């Protein structure tokens, strides 16, 4: 009730900016859902900007549209939800000398268009992440030599840890 009361009191003067520190801390699952719905309504219907400080990354992922990662009082990174999803989405990163030929192989032999050709000519393949052997075999059988073949992307928690400087900060 304290969390809900605190939010209600802060809304009395109809603010343009609402700053919340760990707004779901100590709430049961139903309370968490209610606060999530409330925050979304405040943004959409009342056009209030809500700044949330929290360590609950999965919950932030469900409500936030923009992120600022801060560590030891220093802004380490700012990114949108789309950028965060792109960085965390698991994929096979493939680098080779003939990326255009590889795209044809992905489409014709593996039957997928779920990839992205990056500006540096690497390819992010979002399918077959759990069947790397099939991808590697298909590439090899078609005479393409890869110079990089790795699974990339991570959980929100691991991504956050990498941004703030890795495991040494535990």
Count of C-beta atoms within a 10 Å radius of residue 77? 16
| pTM above threshold 0.75 | no
Q: In sequence order, which ranges of 21-109 are alpha helices (DSSP H)?
A: 29-45, 57-63, 81-88, 99-108
Q: Is the pLDDT of residue 149 over 80?
A: yes
Question: From residue 51, how far is each of 13, 38, 40, 126, 157 by CA, in Å?
Answer: 17, 14, 12, 32, 20
Dump pLDDT digits (tens) for 105-144.
999 999 999 999 999 999 999 999 999 999 999 999 999 9
| Domains defined for the chain, CATH in brackets | 2-64 (no CATH), 90-152 (3.30.70)
Residue 169: pLDDT band (50, 70, 90) is: very low
Tell me: the pLDDT tens digits for 24-53?
888 889 989 999 999 999 999 999 999 999
């Amino acid at each position: 009730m304290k969390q809900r009361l605190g939010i209600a009191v802060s809304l009395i003067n109809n603010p343009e900016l609402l700053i919340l520190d760990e707004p779901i801390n100590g709430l049961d699952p139903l309370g968490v859902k209610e606060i999530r719905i409330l925050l979304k309504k405040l943004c959409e219907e009342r056009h209030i900007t809500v700044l949330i400080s929290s360590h609950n990354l999965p919950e932030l992922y469900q409500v936030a549209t923009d992120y600022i990662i801060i560590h030891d009082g220093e802004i380490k990174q700012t990114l949108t939800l789309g950028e965060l999803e792109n960085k965390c989405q698991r994929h096979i990163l493939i680098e080779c000398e003939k990326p255009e030929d590889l795209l044809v192989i992905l489409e014709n032999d593996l039957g997928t268009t779920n990839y992205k050709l990056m500006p540096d000519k690497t390819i992010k393949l979002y399918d077959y992440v759990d069947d790397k052997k099939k991808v590697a075999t298909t590439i090899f059988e078609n005479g393409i030599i890869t110079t990089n073949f790795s699974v990339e992307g991570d959980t929100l928690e691991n991504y956050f840890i990498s941004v703030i400087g890795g495991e040494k900060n535990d």
